Chains A and B, each alone.
Chain A
Amino acid sequence: MPDVETRTRAADAASEAPALALRDVGVVFGAEANRPVLANISLDVREGEFLSIVGPSGCGKTTLLRLLAGLMKPTTGDVLFEGKRVDGPSRARAIVFQDYANALLPWRTVAGNIALPLERAGLSKPEREARVAALVAKMGLDAAANRYPAQLSGGMQQRVQIARCLAQKPRVMLMDEPFGALDALTRQTLQDELLALAAEQRVTTVFITHDLEEAIYLGDRVIALAANPGRVVETIDVGLPKPRNQLTTREDPAFLARRHRLFGLLQGH
């Protein structure tokens, strides 16, 4: 039965197609044609993986994430989502911004913010409320559900933003230094919560950070960028066992070796 065979092969090809891909992407801002922000970047984000992208400030990390989100277009090259060219933002790709305080609607309560993506999904009110309640519980926001963002700590606000992204049931979650503005303890807690969520929801995640250890601790793979112009210098498979642990993983010789390697690479440039 040739029909079945071709169909399986097509399905295989589709599942092997990267969730997101950049093909020879370059970005130039304004008149500074001689100083591109990103140059000749090609990379794949695999279906279901957790990809960390790390690099020094000014290497175009945020620009790269905005390209993947569809919030901007590359000057040259292509951005592909599930094999199709990206021509704008989509609900299938959720974004978590670093500046949670600006990204939440200050006039809506925590529950109201999480409900925002659900309001057009054709859900009945009880269904919507149940979904919001489930997300509130999952992110540990029960006590805060009826408070306004300005009344919450930074860590809680970032939880709300992540919950809002999960509410839109994305296939890819794009995170732009989401924990960069948080204190060390809160950051570690949120890192572990995020890993658990990503594993449970099996959502492809691209995580931008300037923190080497964070990149390795969270990632299945780490892509290192260098600046002037922003370009890929190295891609490594992390290969550390999961679930990860703040103490044992970070003391694992393999973890330290990766950290050494990336540190050297980024220093060298």
Chain B
Amino acid sequence: MTKLSRGAALPLFILAVWELSSRLGVMTYESLSYPSAIAAAGWAALLDGSILESTWETCQSALLGLALGAVVGVALGAVVGLSRLASRAAGPTFDALRAIPSVALMPLGLLLFGWGLAMEVVVVAYACCWPIMIATSAAVRGVEPRLLEVADALEMSFAARLRKIVLPAAFARIGVGVRVALGIALVVAVTIEIAVNPRGLGYALVLAQQSLRPDVMFAQILWLALIGFALNALLSTVDGGARGEGSGA
């Protein structure tokens, strides 16, 4: 309880100083608004549904991008993980591609697809496929050799071996990569919207700043922080569950 109150002390103090100093006219933050106005703006945005609509747009591109990135990442990771030669040959090229910051692909996405959902999904997918590829190749390499001997004994084809043995056995560890990528997907989607793409939460944020509505802007940021916080909390409970399951086995 004291821990909780200590943790709340700092934000409450800042909020109180911020609110009081602007209310009492000690200082005027015309460009900054103040906490109660921000809360009102956030409430209004919730009521008229605008913030939920932009949240949906952002989630849409983040999740589609994640799905596309996962398909590519798992495929590449499986090949690289199963074949030492493929891993050695493709490793440096992939490392070089991975080193290009994903946001640098925004202009390329614009060039190829123009504004809209498609370019955002592609750039998010690019950002997401690398951690999933790495997790998949590590997971595939970690598959119990005995299981692969079973596959040999049954004379399975490469595809059957992948579908029936390798991917199910590697499933949990691939999941870890997908979870890391989910966090990346949201951040990259919002970044694209802030920088170039006129849709979703990021654009709403820029719009609020450009139309000189700091109250709306801070409300949007608070909302983004809440979404990120909730996502983190959700992922760590899933994580805890998975770990519990693992220790039981």
The reply, when asked whether chain A contacts chain B directly with Cβ atoms under 8 A, is: no
Q: Which residues of A contact B (CB under 8 A)?
A: none
Using a CB–CB distance below 8 Å, which chain B residues touch chain A? none
